[in-house]
Structure 1
Amino acid sequence: MLSRNLRHFRVFLAVADLKSPTLAADRCHVTQPAVTQALGKLEREAGGALFDRTRQGFFLTPRGEVFETRIRRAIDRLDAALAEIAPRLTLTASAAQLQAMIAVSEAQTFSLAARTLGIAQPTVHRAVTRLEKDAARPLFDRVSFGLAATRACRALVQAARLAFSEVEQAEAELAAFDGREVGRIVVGALPLSRSVVLPEALARFRAARPRQPVTILDGPYTEMLSGLRRGDIDVILGALRDPLPAEDVEQEPLFRDRLTILARPGHPLLSAPTISLESMARQPWTVPRHGTPSRDQFDALFTSHGLPHPESVLECGSILLMRELLSRGDLLGCISERQAAAEIDKGLLARLEIPFEWPARAIGLSYRTGWIPTTAQRLLLDMIRAAAVELTPL
């Protein structure tokens, strides 16, 4: 595991740029033995030589090239944010100080941050105080409920999170270089993806990478979007947003889907000759939660016809829970057509024929702008794309 020594990373990048430990020592204001020591430590952690030492200079090995790509992205991102606060911080800030700052920004107190990091509270306090001293400005405002990160601090926290994420990516790439399945893959799964595309893609991925750690998260889109932007989640699979939810997020459409209205077999409306929107507005419903594209379309259906929204509504995005709710009464359900396909095919639920057509919505991948997936992450993404094509024909 890489030690996250920022000074060692900068020394490594200087040697990669200048091809000389002597010149790198001058640039980094350290001794040449310190450069040699830093490179030796990094190469032990990286699992092999990062440079070919020749009379003409130091040249990156293939392993070194993998390492250099990730570490340069991490340091470039971090140094830009540090310099924005105070150029001196690019020389003095340590990974431990930045990790303390991140923990305090999340916990909003030194004591809770210390508990999160598993270290003593005075250690966290000293780390943040040192950062503030070198920055010559406060990074936190002292408020009634604790500590609130300043705007500059929030920008640095974001940059530090993503820089540390790049270091984790470097570790995964180095492991893949040696044929080991190491490094996290975290997928945020919205409801449709959990029942249609993702299971097939994960089954294929597990067959190809039996020991690769994979974590699937579910929850509200806003929470997963925050995790994506912080670097805690690698990719989100599900309904895309229009407009883009944030300028640092990209969306990749995979297929299109429509909503459908469901009822239990034998529901009175299934035998009705016609179904009006007015009668539907009076029905009890189970529908996706507010803020989702599905719910927006459901509400827009009644609004566009000048009708009041149904008054009896249960919010539910799970087809399994929706099935159980519908089977116990005369509720109607509104959910993704493909998500409900298996329940309809098995006769567990029935599709209600209505005199209008839902607009199609895009389903796909969301990831950070500029994100470069590792070899394993790229493999899973390709399998998700392939499963989407095979399982959701247009």
Structure 2
Amino acid sequence: MELQQLRYVVAVAETGGFTRAAERCHVVQSALSHQIAKLEKELGARLFDRTSRRVALTPAGEAFLPAARQSLEAAERAAAEVAATTGEIRGTLALGAISTIASVDLPRLLRDFHTRYPQVRISMTAGRSELLVEEVRRGTLDLAFLGVTPAFRAKGVRSHTLARDRHVVMVAPDHPLAQEGAQEPLELARLAEETFVDFAAGSHARAQTEEIFAAAGLHRDVAFEASHWEFLAGLVRNGMGITLLPSAFVSQLSGVCVLPVRDGPQREERLVWSATRLTPAGAAFLRDLGVMVGE
């Protein structure tokens, strides 16, 4: 069994066909098909069902695919570790981030990292903090930028706090609160009288607000939920409700009125990475941020 054969299997599974897989791997289709047939003979099982219309994994192929991917990742990590001993950083850097990251200029950070380490292949995934932590724990991501409550703890990862912030309320310019909040910070009890737009229930972005209202014994009405801040801002801008967002982030938005809140939710932006596995590229990224790997 050869690594190249594993690459061909993964390519066929991901592209859904031998022709597209051959194009991705830069080989002729006959050579790719021959190597997969050779591997199937060695394994004693067909990995793909082939018809004139489609190519699909067999049950044996479904069982083989995760192990093939893990083997390829392990081989790539091994090569990167060897290169790192000579001072060369290569391999992959898989990052995750929330959409409201404000403590770092992530695009510029990635540009500078790519310039310094051009042989590192960088990928980026956006998502909710709780899901990103799980991806780091599983090894799918090397590092992730989170936005969480101060009390948030996650097992199996190390973390570094990048910034601490408080939420502010965002309303439409013609909303009655725009006048009230201009005089002094708004009370939570006053905000609870209004209709809210917010992130999905169960997310850390939502929990930061839910916890502070629950602690004050207050109930609020969330009429609209959204998975992205742009849609939330659009709803607020059009008078469909108010929302609470980190102060460092809302300064980037236009067409809304931003007001202070007394005893509002607190938020931390953190960078997390695996407690057991860190690639040379991941370690280099942490060093660029001035973060000690052993934190």
TM-score of the two chains, using structure 1 as the length reference? 0.52
Deviations 1:96-129 (A, max 9, x none): 1111122233234434433432333343333333
> Which blocks of at least 5 consecutive residues in structure 2 are unaligned?
none
The partner residue of 2:41 within 102, 124, 133 is 133
Does the CA-based 8 Å contact 2:77-2:279 persist in structure 1? Answer: no
5+ unaligned residues in a row in structure 1: which ranges? 1-92, 388-394
Name 2:109's counterpart in structure 1: 202
In structure 1, what residue type is equivalent to 2:271? L
Aligned residues of 1:240 and 1:253 also touching (Cα < 8 A)? no
For 1:156, the equivalent position in structure 2 comes to 67
Higher mean Cα deviation, 304-313 or 183-192?
A: 304-313
Q: Which residue does the alignment assign to 2:56?
A: 146
Distance of 1:200 and 1:160 partners within structure 2: 31
**Per the alignment, do residues 137 and 294 of structure 1 end up closer, same or farther by CA in structure 2, a change over 3 Å counting?**
same
The residue number in structure 2 matching 1:279 is 193
Task: Encode CA deviations 1:65-97: one digit per residue, 9 max, x unaligned.
Answer: xxxxxxxxxxxxxxxxxxxxxxxxxxxx11111
Corresponding residue to 2:31 among 86, 104, 123: 123
CA-to-partner distance for each residue in 1:297-337, whole Å, 9 max, x for gaps? Answer: 4567788979575223444235xx76676455464233234
**Cα deviation, residue 165, structure 1:** 2.9
Q: Identify, as 1 or 2, the structure richer in helix.
A: 1
Q: CA RMSD in A?
A: 4.7
**Contact kept in structure 2, 1:189 and 1:237, CA below 8 Å:** yes
Per the alignment, residue 50 of structure 1 pairs with none
Q: CA deviation at 1:196?
A: 1.3
1:103 equivalent in alignment to 2:11: yes
CA apart distance, 1:166: 0.7
Alpha-carbon distance in 1 for matches of 2:20, 2:67:
20
Greater RCO, CA 8 A, separation 6+? 2
- Give the aligned partner of residue 220 of structure 1: 127
| C-alpha distance 200-302 of structure 1, shift in aligned 2 (>3 A) | same
What amino acid is aligned across from residue 270 of structure 2 in structure 1? G
Report the counterpart of residue 311 of structure 1 in structure 2: 223
What is aligned with 1:381? 286
Q: 1:234 to 1:133 in 2, by over 3 A?
A: same
In the alignment, is the contact (CA less than 8 A) between 1:141 and 1:148 conserved in 2? yes
Which structure has greater strand proportion? 2
Change over 3 Å in CA distance of 1:176–1:385 after alignment to 2: closer
The answer to whether the 8 A contact 1:198-1:384 is kept is: no
Aligned residues: 275
The 3 A distance-change label for structure 1 pair 307 and 101 is same
Match of 1:146, as an amino acid? A
Q: Call closer, same or farther: CA 1:262–1:308 in 2, change over 3 Å.
A: closer
Change (3 A) 1:382 1:259: farther
The amino acid across from 1:161 in the alignment is L
Identity between Structure 1 and Structure 2 (%)? 18
Alignment of 1:216-255 (within 5 A): 217-221=124-128, 233-239=141-147, 250-254=157-161
- Identify if the C-alpha distance between structure 1 residues 164 and 210 changes in structure 2 by more than 3 Å, giving closer, same or farther: same
